[in-house]
Amino acid sequence: MRQLILTISILFSVLTGYSQDKPAYVIYNSKGRKVSYGQMLKSFKKADVVLFGEFHDNPISHWLEFELTKDMNKLYDLTLGAEMIEADNQKELDSFLTQKTDEKHFDTTARLWPNYKTDYKPLVDFARDSGLTFVATNVPRRYARSVSKGGFEALDTISAQEREWIAPMPIAFQADLPTYVNMLKMMGDHGTPNVVKAQALKDATMAHFIMKYVPPRKGMFKKSTKKFLHFNGAYHSDHHEGIGWYISQISKKVRVMTITTVYASDLSKLSAEEKGKADFIIVVDEDMTRTY
């Protein structure tokens, strides 16, 4: 009898374990407290700019980006922008958004990322269907490549036309920002100060183009109905550095809020090292499939 009870107990435990929910993600605030999607959305009424830090191959990031876009569009006068489209392709993007050209023309004339159709096309299509402005914020990759080899001096010889696609020079650069220091450490023997400067060039350029669409704040405590939602790799906005740091150099009054994405095996709590990484941390199950 005792053996039967033990067997039933073990079976019940196994079945209970299999019946437990398996959340794909959990959202935490910067202090490590669980928050709902609705709470996160509501908090953005205080922001002028929301930087959504994604993992480029993460389906949860891309799905939540799309959901957040739809929901913020219902509440605010929304402008979108993305690292994934470069500034010198703004004309091609605008032509598509205003339906002067079709998708095939946009695909062939703009330098779109390989995962554009699966991960970013829904955002661009939504902007087109909704009449939203979508800003190509990233520096053309050829200039970032030049800086990674020759430093900011490599930009000295570019034309006036080309300068329109880059943050105003000289580019401010604070090498001791923790994210830049850490980037250099992570790259090991492959890392050089110029590679970090190329990252800074991207951050500065994205901040520059975001700020072109952020109206001057009339008062520190007055909420604005205009919001800029920007999509970028998480490292470009983690710890409120990167893009956020460059925005603060342009205006101290602009309120920037951040989202980041991290992986974890245990979604029930936020690790100490992830706290403070952003205003909201989306913790995704580390077994989540990738989009490419």
Predicted confidence (pLDDT) at residue 115 exceeds the cutoff of 70: yes
The closest of 243, 233, 237 to 204, measured between CA atoms, is 243
Predicted confidence (pLDDT) at residue 10 exceeds the cutoff of 80: no
pLDDT tens-digit map of 161-187: 999 999 999 999 999 999 999 998 888
Domain map (residue ranges) of the chain: 26-78+255-292, 85-137, 139-211
User: H or E segment at 27?
Assistant: strand 25-29
pLDDT tens-digit map of 124-170: 999 999 999 999 999 999 999 999 999 999 999 999 999 999 999 99
pTM (2 d.p.): 0.91
pLDDT tens-digit map of 201-258: 999 999 999 999 998 876 655 667 899 999 999 999 999 999 999 999 999 999 999 9
CB 49 within 8 A of CB 254: yes
Residues 264, 261: Cα–Cα separation, whole Å: 10
pLDDT at 187: 83
Residues 149, 193: Cα–Cα separation, whole Å: 10
pLDDT at 224: 75
Predicted confidence (pLDDT) at residue 269 exceeds the cutoff of 50: yes
